[in-house]
Structure 1
């Protein structure tokens, strides 16, 4: 089944690059059914197709994840701008790569009845991401814990790597925490940045 998915993606990408005379073929969304289930269309015509992050996810869809790190929520559950930017980037990646799951990482806060991860789920649903594509890590209350708990989940799911979605000011520390956690847990995982 995995080979069929990859072949379908390669065929679709090849069709996009076909040229006739001076006109280039336009990209219509491609529907890629798996078995009897149709998971919707994949917009292969995006300008992000072929970027390093896209290629990283396409190389091994079921074992590569998109990890979105939480940010301190407002006292009434307001989503801060930095988290909205992270969710925007994660949603764009998830729509372009529907076979890659999104892990939302953020734990409970004393002033909210649910975890940051559950708030992020709602944010991704509002951006058109299906629930089945999301995985919750709802315990972390720091970047170190984001890394520790998420690496454990990735290892348990047989992952090979993940894109870490966070803001520029936070990225270097986040990548270091994730790589340190992977080393401590003997997990062979590759982490790459996806800047929000």
Structure 2
């Protein structure tokens, strides 16, 4: 129930969707006798919201606290027993349709998989990613990664595929069940920097001690807090990601999937 409900709620409260719906509703009210004034306010609010969120630095303000929460990984020489890469970057339908692996803006996760597989040849490699759609028999991200492992430079026989998870909590629970990690082992968790706090919280709640390996940064540093976006589409996309992630942190804490509102190192 949580999965389909979360999809519906996130569609409505995604900022760009919400602002468009708000503006559209306001425009409809302009054609009514009783709602003309409120319609004008809603239409203007929706338009200005899209303008400010798309071209202003709001996305950086929302994303930077998330991305800066866990520091970049520094190899200190301690052995790495395993590496877990979370799904969310592979476009499964397009990959199948075009017969080549296709990734979205979070493609650094797959780049890190290939790089870490080379750097730690003895480590166990786990790719955790089912299907994010509600269609039955949809192909999983893990299956796509397995099919195109050679493209990524990853030996297929090293891959441990977790194909059932649909969200971050299930990534953690199912990966833990599959790997049965030992307390003294170091496992690296690879996911987007803005997603790392929620992911770490879920893995801790699942009893799986992991070390953060953040990738896919959307901000370059403090200067972004004062920089205007070149394209409104880029600003809106990143603002959507940041706001949804903050909402996800709140929802996961209320659902008991994490112990902290904002997991920390």
Give TM class, smaller chain. Answer: 0.5 to 0.7
Summarize deviations over 1:117-159 as a string: whole Å, max 9, x none.
Answer: 111223442121111221111110001100111112232x547
| 2:108 aligned residue | 85
Kindly indicate which of the two structures has a greater share of residues assigned to helix: 2
- Residue correspondence of structure 1 range 1-196 to structure 2 within 5 A: 52-55=73-76, 59-61=78-80, 64-71=81-88, 73-74=90-91, 76-78=93-95, 79-108=102-131, 109=133, 110=135, 113-155=138-180, 158=182, 160-182=185-207, 189-196=209-216
Task: Quote the offset at 1:113 in angstroms.
Answer: 4.6
Q: Secondary structure at the match of 1:59?
A: coil
Distance 1:73 1:90, change over 3 A: closer
Match of 1:36 in 2: none
SS in 2 for 1:77: helix
Give the whole-Å Cα distance in 2 for the aligned partners of 1:75 and 1:96: 27
In 1, the alpha carbon distance for the partners of 2:139 and 2:160 equals 15
The two structures have a TM-score, normalised by structure 1, of: 0.59
Bigger Cα Rg: 2
Higher strand proportion (structure 1 or 2): 1
Q: Give the whole-Å Cα distance in 1 for the aligned partners of 2:116 and 2:85.
A: 11
Q: Count matched residues.
A: 136
Structure 1 unaligned spans of 5+: 1-50
Structure 2 unaligned residues grouped into runs of 5+: 1-71, 96-101, 217-265
Q: What CA distance in whole angstroms lies between the structure 2 residues aligned with 1:175 and 1:90?
A: 18
Kindly state the Cα deviation for residue 180 of structure 1 after the two structures are TM-superposed.
1.0
After TM superposition, the score normalised by the length of structure 2 is 0.45
Contact 1:77 1:112 in 2 (8 A): no
Structure 1 CA distance for aligned equivalents of residues 92 and 140 of structure 2: 13
